[in-house]
A = this chain, B = another copy of it.
Amino acid sequence: MHEFKTTYPDNNYTVHVGHGIFNKVMKHYTSHYNEVFYIVDVTVYGHFRDGILKDIEDPILIDSGESAKTFQSFMNLTENLLEQGIKRSSLVVVIGGGAAGDAGGFAAAVTLRGVDFIQVPTTILAHDSAIGGKTAINSSHGKNLIGAFHRPSGVIYDLEFLSTLPESEIMSGFGEVFKHSLLNSKEAARSLMAKTAFGISIDAIEESIIDGIKTKMDYVSSDEFESGSRKFLNLGHTLGHAIEYQYKIPHGQAIILGLYAMMYISNKTAENEIFDLQKYHEYFSGLDYPVGLLGEMDIEQMIDLMRHDKKNIKNEAIGFVLIDESFSPYFTELNISTLENYLSGIKESI
């Protein structure tokens, strides 16, 4: 089992990663609480109620995916916890993918103005979302617009959960794994590519997932509230979110496309070939990511969507995270006309 600890001045928490660790680590935490409430993604419960989760009695089941993140679901969740007599001294354990983690974490953040909670991520993507204390539900005006920063008391990542993940979720979750490898080092990205050149298997990427956890922890430990370097985690997300929204493709797939665009723009901005675009194009296409979409995108639409991203503060320019010649991320603002040129260039290059 791997254990990583955050490095805040106080109230640090540990991320436990390993195979078959859930019940043992859980016991360590629950023994400190009189009452423990379990919030579990209904699909995950279906897969593991007779397995890893067999000792959990009367969990509060929540919808799979984004349906967990509506106002209605939020209300049901908090009312349910209160109905069952939750106290300030209770513990909430949230088991599921990023959506369950966000919704359950938000409920824990605001019920009785905040109770302790443990994140138990069950998807690849959630190696990312379970760490860093961001919790949220969705608004009709966009995703994750209502939420709170609420540090978990611990994160238990039992890789056994990943065994039931459908192919599409593996492909989507891989987007963030790849992003973390790019933030980590050129070698990390290269090695991940080598291991996945002919397909993504959980075994092959396990080590990169664990490295990704470390990378994410470094960023959120040094900038919890995203006033500086935490923004680098947005690598590939600026255009990625616009593509996800417009073309309704899974988050991680859109991020891969966003990362490709980021590489193109990084090269142009550095006037140097930091990334061998052709190689990445082949690699991503080989893994069935819909890179071709970049050749069809409506540039004005994309720019309009990026302008409205909640992380974008100005209107005349759009903030982007790029990678420089020493392979370090940096934040820059691209004005609209420059960006239009780059996006045309990307379209043509596809």
B-binding residues in A (CB < 8 A): 71, 75, 78-79, 82-83, 87-89, 106, 109-114, 134, 136, 139-142, 145-149, 310, 313
The answer to whether A139 touches B310, judged by C-beta atoms less than 8 angstroms apart, is no
Given known contacts A87-B310, A88-B313, A89-B313, is B75 in contact with A113 (CB within 8 Å)? no
* Minimum Cβ distance to chain B for residue A262 (Å): 23
What residues of B have a CB within 8 angstroms of the CB of A148 in the complex? 109-110, 113-114, 148
Given contacts A88-B310, A310-B88, contact A110 B78 (CB under 8 A): no
CB contacts (< 8 Å) of A134 on chain B: these are 113
Determine if A145 and B112 form an interchain contact, defined as CB atoms under 8 angstroms apart: yes
Rounded to whole Å, the gap between the CB of A135 and the closest CB of chain B is 8
Q: Inside 8 A of A113's CB, which chain B residues have their CB?
A: 134, 136, 147-149
Cα distance, A114 to B150, chains bound together (Å): 12
Given A89-B313, A313-B87, answer yes or no on A142-B110 (Cβ-Cβ < 8 Å): no
| A147–B115 alpha-carbon span in the complex (Å) | 11
6 closest A-B pairs (Cβ-Cβ)?
A82-B141, A113-B147, A71-B75, A110-B146, A82-B139, A78-B146
Contacts A71-B75, A139-B82, A141-B82 given; does A110 touch B112 at CB 8 Å? no
* Number of identical monomers bound together in the oligomeric complex: 2
* Cα of A149 to Cα of B150 in the assembled complex, Å: 11
How far is A112 from B114 in the complex, measured between Cα atoms in Å? 18
Closest-by-CB residue of B relative to A109 is B148
In the complex, what distance in Å separates the CA atom of A310 from the CA atom of B85?
9
- A78 to B112 CA separation, bound complex (whole angstroms): 20
Q: Please report the C-alpha to C-alpha distance between residue A310 and residue B88 in the assembled complex, in whole angstroms.
A: 8
**Seed contacts A88-B313, A110-B148; 19 additional CB < 8 Å A-B pairs:** A71-B71, A78-B139, A78-B145, A78-B146, A79-B139, A79-B140, A82-B142, A82-B145, A87-B310, A87-B313, A88-B310, A89-B313, A106-B110, A110-B110, A111-B145, A111-B146, A112-B145, A112-B310, A113-B136
CA–CA, A113 and B148, complex, Å:
5
Most buried by B among A88, A145, A310, A313: A145
- Nearest CB of B to A105, in Å: 12
Instruction: Name 15 interchain pairs, CB-CB below 8 A, sorted by A.
Output: A71-B71, A78-B146, A79-B139, A82-B139, A82-B141, A87-B310, A88-B313, A110-B110, A110-B146, A110-B147, A112-B145, A112-B147, A113-B136, A113-B147, A114-B148
Return A322 CB to nearest CB of chain B, in Å: 22
CB distance from A80 to the nearest CB of B (A): 10
